[in-house]
Amino acid sequence: MVYESIIEATEEFDAKYCVGVGGHGSVYKAQLRTGETVAVNKFKEAVEVEIASQKAFEREIHTLIRARHRNIIKLYGFCSSSRHSFLVYEFLELGSLKDILNGEERITTFDWKKRLNVIKGVAYALSYMHHECSPPIVHRDLSSKNILMDEEYEAHVSDFGTAKVLRPYSSNWTSFAGTFGYVAPELAYTMEVKEKCDVYSFGVVILEVIMGRHPGNLISSLASSASSSSSNSTASCWHLKQALDQRIPYPHGDTLGEVAFIVKMALTCLSAKPEHRPSMQQVSQEISAHRSIVIGASGDIKLEELVDPGCFPY
């Protein structure tokens, strides 16, 4: 009955109900006969992608059945028939974090308090996946497009089609997965999946939330600075004031100190060496403590002063 209701609500998956497109299919908004609105992720059916889509479909089901957390998307059910394969989720009103950051409509209301709350929510979800699920779950494709937002600006990690369960005593080597610009650098020469890969992606997401855009140039500057002893490196030119999103008022007081600490945490997560990155459990504990950094009278600080290599030598 639910299957037929979804087909009816989307008019056989008409394009006008499509609210997003992912690597393995498209997401549709469906209002059921009960009045409830759900999101339906319909997987591709073309012959050339059928095997990959089927694997992603099964992987997402198995992962979301095991992972239950307020900051992880809720899976209501799934359907696999000769006609269609799809997953049914809760519908989140504001769409993806990427949509919010790229749009001008809501950006002025996406203030520092809401942004810090989004970062905390994602940290809690990843800490749960890495440290409270047994065996641990690695997302492998954390990015702003895979973080969905409800009307309270609460973050929900989604799209587990490439997630990897780290089973003990088995190989955790796998094919490449992830979104360009968010993938940990070690995956360029090794295909071994570890939790620290998610930690790096989380660092990118933090900076994207704080800057209002993907931090590609800043990450490149930090990487070149780490490999250079010169004080004239490009990273030394970056200041907190220029890095923060200019579309909303500059933070002050305790909020500025907390934003600066979050940036410091992001830079630690982006360490080129996985062993120098904190675990997500450490990150969530630090964030929960509402730590802040004292900023001088100028209200600014160089980002290189926030870089603390070897802070978490685990």
Give me the count of residues in the chain.
314
Catalytic residue among 141, 159, 198, 245: 141
For 258-304, the pLDDT digits (tens) are 999 999 999 999 999 999 999 999 999 999 988 888 888 888 888 88
pTM score, whole prediction? 0.90
For 99-141, the pLDDT digits (tens) are 999 998 889 999 999 999 999 999 999 999 999 999 999 999 9
With b for 16 or more beta-carbon neighbours within 10 A and e for fewer, the 109-144 pattern comes to ebebebbbebbbbbbbbbbbbbeebeebbbbbbbbb
Q: Domain boundaries in the chain? A: 2-90, 95-306
Q: Are 278 and 312 in contact (CB under 8 A)?
A: yes
Closest-CA residue to 261 (of 305, 228, 223): 305
pLDDT of 187 reads: 83
Q: State how far the Cα of 76 lies from the Cα of 126, in Å rounded to an integer.
A: 21
When pLDDT is averaged across residues 174-192 and rounded to a whole number, the result is 78
Q: Are 107 and 137 in contact (CB under 8 A)?
A: no
For 5-42, the pLDDT digits (tens) are 999 999 999 999 999 887 678 999 999 988 899 999 99
CATH T-level assignment (fold) for domain 95-306: Transferase(Phosphotransferase); domain 1 (1.10.510)
Q: Are 266 and 278 in contact (CB under 8 A)?
A: no
Is 314's pLDDT higher than 50?
A: no
Q: State how far the Cα of 26 lies from the Cα of 42, in Å rounded to an integer.
A: 5
Homologous superfamily in CATH for domain 2-90: Phosphorylase Kinase; domain 1 (3.30.200.20)
Q: What 3-state DSSP class applies to 148?
A: strand
pLDDT of 213 reads: 96
Closest-CA residue to 266 (of 299, 244, 234, 294): 244
Q: Spell out the residues 6+ positions from residue 52 whose beta carbon is closer than 8 angstroms to its own.
A: 24
Residue 141 is a catalytic residue: yes
pLDDT of 188 reads: 75
